[in-house]
Homo-oligomer: A and B are copies of this chain.
Amino acid sequence: MPITIYDIAREAKVGIGTVSRVFNNNPNVTIETRKKVLAVSKRLHYVPHAYAQGLARKRTNTLAAIIPFFTNYFFIEVLKGVQDKCAALGYDLILYGINHPSEVEPYLNKSIQRGRVDGILYFSMKLPVDFAKRFHGVTKPLVLVDSFDESCDSLFVENLEAAKIATGHLISLGHQNVGLIDGNMSSFPARQRLEGFKHAMAEAGLGINEKAVVISTTTKLDGFSRDAGYLAMKEMMTLGAAMPTAIVISSDVQAIGAISALRERGMKVPEDVAIVSFDDIELAVHFGLTTMRQPMYEMGELAVEKLVQRFEHPDAPPSHQTFLPRLVVRTSCGMNKPETYIENFLHTEN
């Protein structure tokens, strides 16, 4: 019963080609016949069939996003940028959420399947090692978001540099014994942040207390969670007198967990321990968190733009773009800059 171009062609007494032209805004149609076709189409409630169009046009106008940790603030925010840009550009977005590394392959396969999507947004995870091999040539445009690989376009936060800035900020405030609470090492950003932390300490001629570097071993959210932060701080506190006077924490949620661990022992931020974290989630203001804000939404938008550009220039060399997080100073680092606080209060996104 669904009506097709044939129905409307017959009814409008034209050929199906003409009907098609009308719907594709092909200029080679008299304004008269165009009107006639449109009228009939409206009367019959004609709507083109997406898959039939896709098959004939050899494109789907759909993108796939392969994304881990659905409930992680960072990804949500990036995804929102992706979603909005897709809408603006007329693309549909298929979401493949990864709960476990083993799910990467099947989704990658689906995405690569001919005629499912035009391109892929691949988030934060490293590509399977033999990826290029196994799909030799069968692959399609893919941009890496928050990750890096020479072979394809990528877009990522300069986490090493950001960690240096965060650590440096604490050092500049006079701290000598600085610690780190980081996410799981399976996470690329977590590794980068560890590096950056070490660099900053080395540059300042400061030694690193091995025990003051607590790396999450949980795989849940790669350790970027309140619980992980709480546990890490508990561990850190076993250091007693040797405990750092300042700590870099790899996400705001972890910082919040860490703060509650501190509170349980009657310790205060920033008086007893100064903190700089990452992300700048909505509640960061509430806790007065000094944090490295990442341009998440913008990254999402740009990722889509990059992918679309790739469609247009399939043979351009891979492009790599980096974002440097911005230090947002509030109170958790012990540096009192209320004006920055106000500036960031009620900050609106969307």
Contacts and interface: CB of A to CB of B under 8 A. Distances in A.
Contacts of A47: 109, 112-114, 138
B83 A70 contact: yes
Interface in A334-350: 346, 348-350
B94 A92 contact: yes
A31 B135 CA distance: 27
Nearest to A69: B350
A115 B253 contact: no
Nearest to A297: B71
A220 B97 contact: no
A187 interface: no
A256 B227 contact: no
Interface string A210-250: 00000000001000011100000000000000000000000
Given A45-B138, A97-B83, A282 B226 contact: yes
A202 interface: no
A270 B94 CA distance: 45
B113 A50 contact: yes
Interface string A279-290: 000110110000
A348 B220 contact: yes
A66 to B, nearest CB: 12
Interface residues of A, number: 55
B51 A94 contact: no
A136 B138 CA distance: 43
Interface stretch (A72-80, A146-154, A162-170, A324-332): A72-80
A110 B71 CA distance: 27
B51 A350 contact: no
B95 A95 contact: yes
A6 B256 CA distance: 59
Contacts of A80: 70-71, 97
Contact of A115 (B49, B99, B285): B49
A45 B138 CA distance: 8
Interface string A81-118: 00110010000111111010001000001101111100
Nearest to A231: B346
B283 A115 contact: no
Interface of A: 2, 45, 47-52, 54-55, 60, 62, 70-71, 76-77, 79-80, 83-84, 87, 92-97, 99, 103, 109-110, 112-116, 135-136, 138, 220, 225-227, 253, 256-257, 260, 282-283, 285-286, 346, 348-350
Given A94-B95, A257-B286, 4 more contacts: A50-B113, A52-B115, A71-B349, A87-B96
